[in-house]
Amino acid sequence: MGQIKNQFIKNLAKTLIEKYPDKFSKSFEKNKEEVDKIVILESKKIRNKVAGCLVHEIRKREMPKPEFRPKTKEGEKRWRRKRR
């Protein structure tokens, strides 16, 4: 199973990236400090989860979308014909 995060944490991370895109990076430690400065949270655990989710979102946004490639030979032939 994948990582399941609380919806509150995901939404908070997305809104922080939208409002402050220049303040966050791939570094968990830097994101942790920035979250502490910007948002007042109840505990360190929630702050760390938000910082981790920020790292995940930033990496996800930077990755290129994979190109679709069929698995069968017939599908490959059809896919190549459509691309011409």
Residue type, 50: V
Per residue in 34-81, pLDDT tens? 999 999 988 899 999 999 999 999 998 888 777 766 677 777 777 677
Higher-scoring residue by pLDDT: 33, 76: 33
The answer to whether the beta carbons of residues 33 and 62 sit under 8 Å apart is no
Asked if pLDDT for residue 83 goes beyond 70, the answer is no
Asked if pLDDT for residue 21 goes beyond 80, the answer is yes
Per residue in 2-16, pLDDT tens? 555 688 899 999 999
| Assigned CATH for 1-84 | 1.10.60.20
CA Rg value for the chain? 19
